[in-house]
Amino acid sequence: MCRTSARTSATSALVIAALASSFLAASCRRAPDVDPTYRAEVERWRRERVADLGRDNGWLTLVGLFWLKPGENRFGSAPDAPLRLEGKGVPPIAGSLFLAANGDVRLIPAPTAGVTLNGQPATEAVLRADRDGEPDIVSIGTLRMHVIVRGEARGVRVRDPQSQARLAFNGIDCFPIDPAYRVEATLERIPQPREVLVASAHGPEQRMLVPGTVRFALKGRTLSLVPFVTSPDDDTLFFVFRDATSGQESYGAGRFLDAKAPAKGSTTFVLDFNYSTNPPCAFTPYATCPLPPKENVLPVRIEAGEETPHIH
């Protein structure tokens, strides 16, 4: 097994330095006949991937996810607080988040609770959500939270840079790099991307756009996948897939893969499963992740990319 090895610490500088400097133990199994330049590209990308997971705002820092109800939603450390926050320096009641009928979420901080908004002492304000760009960050003690929008639902995602998951993280197991899983694919476009509802883990269905069907050959078999895009002009194709390793060597709910869309006037592009990653939900129960549509359940083993992470 190849292992991207890294261990985090409580501070961002130490985390990133440790993650970026450690990678792939010498005892890794190696796929034969891998071009050194290609191997170096994949290994560099894997180092960056692990470093991203361990950053202050990485997935490993998530410690809570709450879906807001219409009206007042009190937050704090009190056992009866609808949004119960567990962290150093969090008072019993730190304030309220008021969900309005139009979808706005208003912060109403409690006096003397020490709540800050984007690093400044907080006052009553409507919060910018992740759908609107960089979200507003509400901080209490060691915790940070922001509003997320998923479909018609409004939620609050909570992070703690000192989370146990971040401190205990020691890397990701990966299949050996194998160029056989780097294939040429064809995108059969449809005139206009169609909107679909995709089931998700730990959250409501998510609306996605499907620009067509991708077809490719892998180890003598003809296969297909449905890609997702965020807009008709998106130059990245996003895949959520399961295969015969799912639930065994790889994460049971499936994996993610990004690919650069075909150039204008072309239909072919490179699909490289060596860049397959675990979804955020493989690292934390507080992420919302789209699940593979039935068209994306492959009847073959994709022995490439990341394996199931070991989270303690």
> Looking at residue 3, what is its pLDDT?
57
Ramachandran sector of residue 238 (left: φ over 0; alpha: ψ -120 to 50; beta: rest): beta
pLDDT over threshold 50, residue 14: no
- Shared domain check, 156 and 201: no
From 151, 177, 203, give the residue that closes a domain.
Answer: 177
**Tokens linked to 158:** 């909570």
Closest to 273 (Cα-Cα) out of 301, 293, 253, 311: 301
Residue 142 · residue 135 · CB < 8 Å: no
- Say if 296 falls within a structural domain: yes
Distance, CA of 159 to CA of 167 (rounded, Å) = 13
Domain span at residue 250 reads 179-312
- Shared domain check, 252 and 297: yes
- Say if 165 falls within a structural domain: no
- Shared domain check, 284 and 187: yes
pTM of the model: 0.83
pLDDT digits 0-9 by tens, 234-260:
999 999 999 999 999 999 999 999 999
pLDDT over threshold 60, residue 124: yes
From 160, 190, 212, give the residue that closes a domain.
Answer: 160
Distance, CA of 85 to CA of 115 (rounded, Å) = 13
- Say if 130 falls within a structural domain: yes
Rounded to whole angstroms, what are the CA distances from 107 to 71, 85, 213, 254? 12, 16, 43, 36
Residue 277 · residue 255 · CB < 8 Å: yes
Greater model confidence, 54 or 241: 241
Distance, CA of 116 to CA of 124 (rounded, Å) = 11
- Shared domain check, 34 and 135: no
Q: How many domains does the chain have?
A: 3
pLDDT digits 0-9 by tens, 259-289:
999 988 899 999 999 999 999 999 999 988 9
